[in-house]
Homo-oligomer: A and B are copies of this chain.
Amino acid sequence: MRNDVRELRVDKGLSQSDLGAVLNVSRQTVNAIETGRYSPSLPLAIAIARFFGHAVEEVFHVD
């Protein structure tokens, strides 16, 4: 499971902490997702995709 969260976040000029605040999760959670330590839950994945204006499958790729 790779994803484009970091790229999308940086393009928006946001810190991991900023994005965490938007999504109501901790900055550590954002970091773990970006660095691939684990996949987000489905509700969180949908929230992330929606925030960036993409479909879930466009942001999260099965390897």
- The docked-state distance in angstroms from the alpha carbon of A47 to that of B8 is 24
| Residue A57 interfacial (CB < 8 Å) | yes
CB distance from A52 to the nearest CB of B (A): 13
Cα distance, A53 to B21, chains bound together (Å)? 33
Report if A23 contacts B (CB, 8 A).
no
Q: How far is the CA of A18 from the CA of B46 in the complex (A)?
A: 27
Residues A57 and B55 in contact, CB atoms below 8 Å apart: yes
Per-residue CB contact flags for chain A residues 46-63 toward chain B (1 = under 8 Å, else 0) read 100100000111001010
- The answer to whether B46 touches A62 (Cβ under 8 A) is yes
Name A residues whose Cβ lies closer than 8 Å to a Cβ of B.
Answer: 1, 39-43, 45-46, 49, 55-57, 60, 62
